């Protein structure tokens, strides 16, 4: 079992260490508990990763508040200057479907009004992207005129994104968790991730701060800023994309809404 003790360090490194160590917990659970399937494995993964991250944050950042998908708030977020926004297991469905790899752990830090550090671990892929070492944006296959590739949910593709793809003549690239879809742009597997239809701050905080550090565009689908640590954590839509496609996609999204 991975220790919950985390050595103090800068926030970027802490985010990476926490995401990686939670990923190790999840990989160990998935390998050891072959008796669990479906909802039981989902619940066990959520619980194990949440307990690990909660203990690690209490150890290394005891004065910070925490907003998690899987637990009640820690600390008074309304007056806090530092809040960790975490999703212990993003893509629980994919986690429960061995040997799928498209699930993730999200760890982000909000400080004084904006996201400042974070990490998205994809444990089954053996890959973590974080703000301590932002990846370089790869060249776009096919060049500027190539069809746009939109990362989209493999199980519940939003009708809005399907309509947007038809308008653009875009290619849909199905995959699992929100973090995996967002990071696929930095892998070079997609050009944009557009979501409309319901998400919470923990779904996007870590992918957004990592994407920003790597130079990607991030916003709501109307182009307004994504803001975090609000009283209501619902943050239902977002656009993460290569920067050269931002205006093109925002115009297409507006046109799609106008004709819906």
Would you list which residues are annotated within the binding site for Mg(2+)? Answer: 69, 87, 89-90, 203
Taking the CA atoms of residue 157, residue 159, residue 164 and residue 170 in that order, the dihedral angle to the nearest 10 degrees is 40
Extended beta strands in the chain, E state: 65-68, 71-74, 82-90, 104-111, 114-122, 127-130, 149-153, 171-175, 192-196, 217-219, 237-241
CA distance 88 to 68: 8
CA distance 216 to 237: 16
Burial 126-150 (b: 16+ CB within 10 A, else e): ebbbbbbebeebeebeeeeeeebbb
Residue 115: strand, helix, or coil: strand
Annotated binding-site residue numbers? 69, 87, 89-90, 203
């Amino acid at each position: 079992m991975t220790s919950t003790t985390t050595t103090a360090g800068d926030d970027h490194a802490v985010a990476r260490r926490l995401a990686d160590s939670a990923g190790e917990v999840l990989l160990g659970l998935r390998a050891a508990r072959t008796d669990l399937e479906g909802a039981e494995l989902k619940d066990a993964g959520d619980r194990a990763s949440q307990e690990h991250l909660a203990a690690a944050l209490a150890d290394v950042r005891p004065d910070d508040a925490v907003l998690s998908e899987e637990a009640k708030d820690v600390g008074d977020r309304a007056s806090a200057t530092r809040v960790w926004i975490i999703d212990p297991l993003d893509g629980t469905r994919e986690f429960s479907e061995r040997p799928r790899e498209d699930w993730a752990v999200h760890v982000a830090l909000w400080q004084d009004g904006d996201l400042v550090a974070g990490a998205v671990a994809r444990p089954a892929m053996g890959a973590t992207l974080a703000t301590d070492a932002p990846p370089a944006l790869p060249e776009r296959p096919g060049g500027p005129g190539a069809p746009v590739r939109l990362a989209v949910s493999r199980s519940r593709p939003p009708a809005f994104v399907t309509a947007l793809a038809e308008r653009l003549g875009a290619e849909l690239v199905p995959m699992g968790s929100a973090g995996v879809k967002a990071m696929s742009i930095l892998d070079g597997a997609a050009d944009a991730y557009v979501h409309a239809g319901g998400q919470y701050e923990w779904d996007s905080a870590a992918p957004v701060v990592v994407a920003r550090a790597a130079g990607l565009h991030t916003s709501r689908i109307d182009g307004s800023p994504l803001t975090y640590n609000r009283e209501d954590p619902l943050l239902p839509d977002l656009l993460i994309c290569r920067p050269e496609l931002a205006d093109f996609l925002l115009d297409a999204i507006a046109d799609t809404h106008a004709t819906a």
